[in-house]
């Protein structure tokens, strides 16, 4: 569908005339466009996004989350002498002060961000320095928002990392066994059941208040970090659609889950799947260095466990989806979700063997 971008961009507080607007980036959730505007003879770029309202049904609450977090982080960046327009996502508000518009013709919801200049988002880790910079990025993101009251945020994906609920969902899938697949994956089922006690640890710490509830990004992949095009250093964290209240152990753990495995997430040959303790140390050094003093003792004690927990949660979800007939995660071949689950379980086995070393590395930094 074609959109009237001249009209859409014109609804925002942008003083200039739209020159062009073209599809941009490699995102799979929202439709992203690069808009170029003539502002007093100078070409200025903006990011225009059509929000996926099938996934994000309450756009008001979604955008209020982003407004609250970006305004808070921009203030903190300015206080430390940084450039908020480059070091943070920056919403462009409409002429009436709203965070987005609903286009009357298409019915779509559109928002605009300032374009972050001279920066690149890599899709894959090409060298350890990229992984280190992503650690610095997400550590700094957590540090900037450490004093933000995360309970103000709406849960756009309720119970996303509630591992107790995830385990209950897995049991429901197992008990239903609608496709008769359970008999062929008993080893994997037993793997999940034997580690049930993992599920409640961080959930209980958050509920009791012993672990602070903080802002979590919930998609801590390298492609959500902008790196300077010249120096390769971290510039900003992007894609804040899934920011929610939770534990920083979730974000840390998910980064480790996908970043410390050199093999593909659906690699059938488990001999190629290995947990890299070296890359773990690279990430810990960058993450804790950026977190500075905002990390608490209980968080530090659970960072290494968070890596196991997030890998367990993900593997459990892949296995549940396999039992359900592959209805949630997109598959391109038979057994792909089963391969995905097995890679996660192999990583867990590796992490369990070197868990003491992981904890010592956290203590080191």
Q: What is the CATH number of the domain that holds 295?
A: 3.90.1200.10
Same-domain pairing of 112 and 163: no
pLDDT digits (tens, 9 = 90+) for 117-159: 999 998 777 788 999 999 999 999 999 999 999 999 999 999 9
By the 8 A CB rule, do 215 and 153 touch? yes
- Domain final residue, candidates 117, 150, 183: 117
pLDDT digits (tens, 9 = 90+) for 315-342: 999 999 999 999 999 899 999 999 999 9
Q: Is residue 335 part of a domain?
A: yes
Same-domain pairing of 168 and 58: no
Compute the distance between CA of residue 247 and CA of residue 251 in angstroms, rounded to an integer.
7
Compute the distance between CA of residue 62 and CA of residue 8 in angstroms, rounded to an integer.
20
- Domain final residue, candidates 117, 150, 167: 117
pLDDT above 90 (res 101): yes
The set of residues, in sequence order, having a beta carbon less than 8 Å from that of 102 and lying 6+ positions away, is 59, 108, 109, 110
pLDDT band at 29 (very low <50, low <70, confident <90, very high): confident
Q: Which residue in the block uniquely carries the two structure tokens 């958050």?
A: 206
Domains held by the chain: number:
2
Same-domain pairing of 360 and 281: yes
Q: What is the pLDDT of residue 183?
A: 97
Q: Is residue 122 part of a domain?
A: no
Same-domain pairing of 216 and 100: no
Same-domain pairing of 168 and 101: no
What is the DSSP secondary-structure string of 284-340? HHHHHHHHGGG--HHHHHHHHHHHHHHHHHHHHHHHHHHHTTS-SS--SSTTHHHHH
Can you give the residue range of the structural domain that contains 150? 128-364
Compute the distance between CA of residue 131 and CA of residue 262 in angstroms, rounded to an integer.
12
């Amino acid at each position: 569908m074609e959109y009237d971008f001249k009209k859409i961009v014109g609804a925002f507080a942008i003083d200039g005339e739209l020159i062009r607007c073209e599809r941009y980036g490699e995102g799979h959730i929202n439709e992203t466009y690069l808009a170029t505007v003539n502002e007093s003879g100078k070409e200025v770029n903006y990011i225009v996004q059509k929000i996926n309202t099938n996934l994000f049904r309450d756009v008001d609450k979604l955008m209020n989350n982003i407004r609250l977090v970006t305004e808070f982080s921009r203030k903190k960046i300015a206080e430390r002498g940084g450039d908020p327009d480059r070091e943070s996502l920056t919403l462009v508000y409409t002429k009436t002060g709203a965070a987005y518009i609903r286009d009357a013709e298409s019915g779509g919801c559109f928002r605009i961000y300032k374009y972050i200049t001279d920066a690149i988002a890599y899709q894959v880790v090409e060298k350890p320095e990229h992984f280190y910079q992503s650690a610095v990025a997400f550590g700094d993101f957590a540090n900037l928002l450490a004093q933000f009251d995360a309970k103000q945020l709406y849960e756009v994906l309720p119970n996303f990392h509630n591992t107790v609920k995830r385990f209950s969902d897995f049991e429901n899938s197992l008990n239903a066994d609608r496709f008769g697949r359970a008999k062929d994956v008993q080893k994997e089922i037993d793997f999940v059941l034997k580690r049930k006690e993992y599920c409640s640890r961080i959930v209980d710490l958050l509920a009791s208040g012993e672990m602070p509830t903080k802002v979590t990004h919930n998609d801590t992949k390298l492609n959500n970090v902008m790196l300077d095009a010249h120096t390769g250093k971290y510039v900003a964290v992007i894609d804040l659609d899934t920011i929610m209240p939770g534990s920083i152990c979730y974000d840390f753990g998910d980064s480790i889950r996908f970043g410390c495995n050199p093999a593909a997430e659906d690699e059938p040959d488990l001999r190629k799947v290995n947990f890299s303790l070296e890359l773990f140390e690279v990430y810990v050094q960058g993450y804790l260095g950026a977190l500075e003093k905002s990390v608490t003792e209980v968080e530090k004690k659970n960072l290494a466990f968070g890596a196991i927990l997030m890998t367990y949660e993900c593997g459990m979800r892949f296995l549940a989806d396999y039992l359900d007939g592959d209805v949630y995660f997109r598959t391109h071949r038979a057994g792909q979700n089963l391969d995905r689950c097995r890679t996660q379980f192999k990583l867990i086995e590796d992490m369990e063997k070197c868990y003491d070393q992981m904890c010592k590395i956290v203590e080191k930094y």
